[in-house]
Amino acid sequence: MARIREAGGTAEAVEADLADPAVAKALFDQAEKAFGPVEILVNNASGWLSDTFSPAERDGFGRPLRPVDAETHERLFAVDVRAPALLIAEFARRHLERGASWGRVIGLTSGGPDGFPTEVSYGAAKAAQENYTMSAARELGRHGVTANMVHPPVTDTGWVNEKVAIAVAADGVLPEVAQPDDVAEVITFLASHQGRRVTGQVVKMY
C-alpha cells in the first residue's frame, strides 16, 4: 500500500501488487501526477516466507517452515527481484528521457553471500536485488544517479517478540533491536546531498 498526497489535497491510498509486471509503470505515473518527476527510488517493499532445504518443520523461533519449491521461488522472486529490477529500469528510462542529472536508487537487503538458512528463497532474492542495484550504480553514475543497498539489523517492524529480542541481546554486535527510524535515517543520508559520493555500496547496520 502506498500513499500519494497531491499538493493541497488529501492522501490517496494506492494498492499495488508488485508481483504484477505492469505495476512499475503505473506507480511512476501516479507519483509523477502527484509530485512531478521521481528523483529518489527506495525499493523497500518485500515478500517473505520461510523455506528450507532441510527436513526441519520449524525455525529457531518456532515459525513453520516449508520446503523450497516453485511456488516459494515465484512468490519471493516476483516481489523481491523482478519488481525492483523493473522499478529501477522505469526510473532510469524516465531519468534519461528528461535529461536529468541527479537521482538516487536505494534498496534494502538481508542475508549475504553466506546464504540465509531457513529463509533461503528470501535470501537468494535479496542477493539478486543487490546485484541489480550494483549494476545500476555502475551504469547510471555518469548520469548523476547513485545506487546503494542498506542491510538493516533486526528491526522492530511488528514481528519482533521477546524470544527474538533476547537472541539479539545475546548475539548481536549491538544489544538492542533497531527501530524503523534507525534505518530511515541511513536511507535519508544516502538520498541526501551528503551521500553524493557514496554509490555501489552495501551499508551494513548493526
pLDDT digits (tens, 9 = 90+) for 72-131: 999 999 999 999 999 999 999 999 999 999 999 999 999 888 899 999 999 999 999 999
Cβ-defined contacts of 19-27 (< 8 Å, 24+)? 19/47, 19/75, 19/78, 19/79, 19/82, 19/83, 21/82, 21/86, 23/83, 24/83, 24/86, 24/87, 24/89, 24/90, 25/90, 27/2, 27/87
How crowded is residue 33: how many other Cβ atoms within 10 Å of its Cβ?
A: 10
- Buried residues in 92-109 as b, exposed as e (16+ CB within 10 A): bebbeeeeeeebbbbbbb
Mean pLDDT of 50-76: 93
Q: Is pLDDT above 80 for 142?
A: yes
Q: Percentage of the chain surpassing pLDDT 70?
A: 94
Helices (H) and strands (E) in the chain, counts: 6, 8
With 0-12 / 13-18 / 19 or more C-beta atoms within 10 angstroms meaning exposed / middle / buried, residue 114 is: exposed
Q: Which residues are 14's β-sheet partners?
A: 2
Q: Which residues are 18's β-sheet partners?
A: none
Q: Is pLDDT above 70 for 13?
A: no
How crowded is residue 187: how many other Cβ atoms within 10 Å of its Cβ?
A: 21
Of 71-75, 128-132, 162-166, 202-206, where does mean pLDDT reach its minimum?
162-166
Mean pLDDT of 132-156: 97
The reported pLDDT for the residue numbered 88 is 98
Closest CA to 40 of 196, 181, 180, 151: 196
For the chain, how are helix, strand and coil distributed in percent, rounded to 5? 45, 15, 40
- Where in the sequence numbering do the catalytic residues fall? 122
Q: Is pLDDT above 50 for 3?
A: no
What's the whole-model pTM score?
A: 0.90
Q: How far apart are CA 74 and CA 70, in angstroms?
A: 6
Average pLDDT along the chain:
92
pLDDT digits (tens, 9 = 90+) for 170-183: 988 898 999 999 99
The reported pLDDT for the residue numbered 11 is 47
